[in-house]
Structure 1
Amino acid sequence: MDAAMTPDPQLSPVEKIEIDLLLEAIWRRYHYDFRGYARGSVERRLCRARQSLGCQTFSQIQDRVLHDPAMLSQLMGFLTIQVSEMFRDPDYFRALREEVIPHLRTYPSLKVWIAGCANGEEFYSLAILFREEGLEDRTIFYCTDISPAALDRARAGIYDLDRIPLFTENHRRSGAATQLSDYYTAAYGAAVFDKSLRARAVFAEHNLATDQVFAEAHLVSSRNVLIYFDRELQDRALGLFGDSLVRGGFLGLGSKENLRFSTQANCFADFNEREKIYRRNTDARTPVRELQHAG
């Protein structure tokens, strides 16, 4: 079951206060802001952390994280969601391939922002897709995440071999004309993806809760990130995406996400509603910079 769909834990009023204080402490000590994350999701993750770390109370976690910076990296493993797969929801990637790529071909250079790249599965999916469609050489991929550990795993591009059959089937269903095995080497129970796929990638820490626009982009793909935010933080993130995109740029969201009730909805138009792909309105506010269109 998806972590976002599991039942909320039954916490006492004191425990809820402790969680408030813990999140505030993390923000004030380390400037990682989880205060706007969906409350039920945060509570579930912190309950797992409390058990795994051998703490009796959330206050004990707070004490340890305030006085031991190394504790933060352990806690981040619980507070950030790093579950994904390559070519997850293959129809989304097929829609990119068949409907979005033809528009992106009209630009002399491209920038793609993968916001919340987790362990890199979505980045490698897009890098492979852009290579297959002949756009890799003109594209820079910005891969951002709040978790330094996740970024390290994304840079490495190493995945357990038992995950590869699913990745391979997803890739096939995305409309690929090549084999996924063309892009990795298998050894010692792991698949290591070709380092050339990372040649045009920039990996960087970025917090959608506190940081500003990361870069201009023609495509922002941020899938299954917003579901872990409350409504205010969702609006903030969508505002960043809108400000980042060039006019007519594309935004891809996860299958359980949409713009319908967002204050930022007027910045986007439906492009492929079924696959949650949107296009930045040309009459919305101007982004940081506009790229020169080829056509």
Structure 2
Amino acid sequence: MNQDCDLSNDELTEVLTLVRHVYGYDFTNYSQASLKRRIVRCMRLVNIRTAPSLQFHLANDATFFTWFLQVIMVNVTEMFRDPQFYINLRNKVFPLLASYPIIKIWHAGCSTGEEVYSMAILLKEANLLDRCRIYATDLNPANLEKARQGLVPIEHMHEYGLKYKQAGGVDDFSAYYTIQDEHALIHKSLLDSILFAQHNLVTDRVFNEFQLVCCRNVLIYFNKDLQNHVIRLFHDSLSSLGYLALGPKESLLFTDLRAQFEPVSADTKIFRRTR
């Protein structure tokens, strides 16, 4: 594995411009330092030494780009991550969602689906799932294909079961999946409530009106301009008094629309759109 490859800022810009023009993925407003580290890691994995060589592979090999996209995207996710968030969601948001005859939820940046499965489980326990339409979107089609399958590595399920209980789960966690080889297969009754689809937060527009938008641990990879753009997108996607849930290290404090939301749970970053 080559350790000498690197990218200058100008070379990074050229690579991102090529990706945008050839494949339509715009990473120019992502946090550049973090993105550069992930692209350099990608180059080292396949022993690509220079930016022109990387550009050649990207321009001429769609299969390579698919792999490249999977490597540079951050796909860290787990079921019932931050259990207190789910407790607050259950106690402070679900009772008000229950007043709607149809509940529409958008889970943006769903990665491989673990957090969407978690929400579906809690909605089922709150007797709301039958009224819910959950739209789970991600930029990466490979993530979405994994999410649709409903397969979770079996070695994670003990830890997830503990977090499920910490998140206020009331049933036997094993009731929500069956064992299939080395994976846990999420029950079809949960998967049937979720529509997985590709959506680009950078370029795509509002596609529905939602009572809850959940986008956790995605904004931290964007610069301030893109954060403002995405928060505007979420604001325009929410019904009056709809809810927005962000990740623990994310905030509305430095965005242009901070006055358009009020905190519901400041510690777990749940907000409500004002009238």
Output the TM-score relative to the length of structure 2: 0.96
Other-structure match for 1:278: 271
Aligned residues of 1:159 and 1:190 also touching (Cα < 8 A): yes
Other-structure match for 2:249: 256
Q: Can you list the C-alpha shifts for 1:229-258, whole angstroms capped at 9, x where unaligned?
A: 111111111111100000110000000001
Shift of the alpha carbon at 1:10? 11
Shift of the alpha carbon at 1:11? 8.8
1-structure distance, mates of 2:183, 2:48 = 34
Correspondence for 1:245 among 228, 238, 242: 238
Correspondence for 2:144 among 151, 154, 159: 151
Shift of the alpha carbon at 1:71? 1.6
Other-structure match for 2:97: 104
The alignment of Structure 1 onto Structure 2 pairs a total of residues equal to 273
**Structure-to-structure mapping, 1:279-294, within 5 angstroms:** 279-282=272-275
3-state secondary structure, aligned to 2:26: coil
Moved runs in structure 1, 4+ residues, more than 4 A? 9-12
Shift of the alpha carbon at 1:180? 1.4
**Structure-to-structure mapping, 1:1-295, within 5 angstroms:** 15-282=8-275
Letter in 2 for 1:77: Q
Aligned residues of 1:206 and 1:214 also touching (Cα < 8 A): no
Letter in 1 for 2:192: A
Q: Can you list the C-alpha shifts for 1:62-98, whole angstroms capped at 9, x where unaligned?
A: 1111111122111111221111100100000000001
3-state secondary structure, aligned to 1:112: strand
1-structure distance, mates of 2:106, 2:46 = 34
Shift of the alpha carbon at 1:41? 1.1
Q: Can you list the C-alpha shifts for 1:213-233, whole angstroms capped at 9, x where unaligned?
A: 132110001000000111111
Aligned residues of 1:172 and 1:179 also touching (Cα < 8 A): no
3-state secondary structure, aligned to 2:267: coil
Letter in 2 for 1:33: D
Output the TM-score relative to the length of structure 1: 0.90
CA RMSD of aligned residues (A): 1.5
Greater CA drift, 207-216 or 91-100: 207-216
Q: Which 5+ residue runs of structure 1 have no aligned equivalent?
A: 1-8, 283-295
3-state secondary structure, aligned to 2:160: helix
